[in-house]
Structure 1
Amino acid sequence: MTDCLFCKIVAGEVPAEIVRESERAVAFRDINPQAPTHVLVVPRAHHPNAAALAAADPASLAEVVAEAHQVAVGDGVADGGYRIVFNTGREAGQTVFHVHAHVLGGRGLNWPPG
């Protein structure tokens, strides 16, 4: 998609602090972090949300989750615990409609938030 922010990050057209890259996914730091570790993991191909990615390309969804774990390992939060969050739809808080996993860790993540 030509107007998708995350597609532009994947293509290298918009700068981002890239943490990891794989064949199907790119991970980069969130510009408005909500925890000491807050990294977004996106598939290289554009899909609007997690459900669409799961239906169209389950292997890419699996790679996004695997990369999210590797981000947690790399940031040193895997042993203590971390959260992987997919917001799907406006009412869930999705603001960029290119599926992305939030990897959050490095502080207590009690539920519900707030």
Structure 2
Amino acid sequence: MKDNNCIFCKLANGEIPTNAIYEDEDFKVILDASPASKGHALILPKEHYANIYEIDDEVLAKASKLAKKIITHEKDVLKCDGYNVVQNNGEVAGQTVFHYHMHLIPRYASDDNTNVIEWKHKEFTDDEMAQICKEMKL
């Protein structure tokens, strides 16, 4: 279903003009309006899912395959040196629009924007790591 109050639903379904680079029955891929680099694109499902916890597994699998297709093509076309594929869930993780989407960010060796993805590394003791592992096992 679509959310009539969601900006990404409106972008994905053609209610708001975009710089689209790909479209099929499930997705629209658009250039990000505030890009981190040349060619920064967003994969937007046409149906509304707030985040990865809500998205249908089949749609999620299609989004991943589409990400590979787009970045493989763009790497050849844009001559970028690498790619970040970013998908945020929750405000604390950097999600600002609560419609599932993937950022496809071309990276260039010559770019001054080297900290698109950055975090402070944490250290845990062997015992702490063992406990975390035990808690997280499926």
Short-chain TM bin: 0.7 to 0.9
CA RMSD of aligned residues (A): 2.1
TM-score by length of 2: 0.71
How many pairs does the alignment contain?
A: 110
What does residue range 3-42 of structure 1 map to in structure 2 within 5 Å? 3-42=5-44
Partner of 2:89: 88
Please identify which structure carries the higher strand content: 1
Instruction: Give the TM-score of the pair, scaled to structure 1.
Output: 0.84
Give the 4+ runs in structure 1 shifted more than 3 A.
77-80, 108-111
Stretches of structure 1 lacking an aligned partner (at least 5 in a row): none
Instruction: Provide the C-alpha distance between the structure 1 equivalents of 2:30 and 2:96, rounded to a whole number of angstroms.
Output: 16
- Structure index of larger Rg: 2
Conserved in 1, the CA contact under 8 Å of 2:84 and 2:107? no
Map residues 30-109 of structure 1 onto 2, 5 A cutoff.
Answer: 30-53=32-55, 57-76=56-75, 80-108=81-109
Larger relative contact order (CA 8 Å, sep ≥ 6): 1
Identity of aligned residues (%): 32
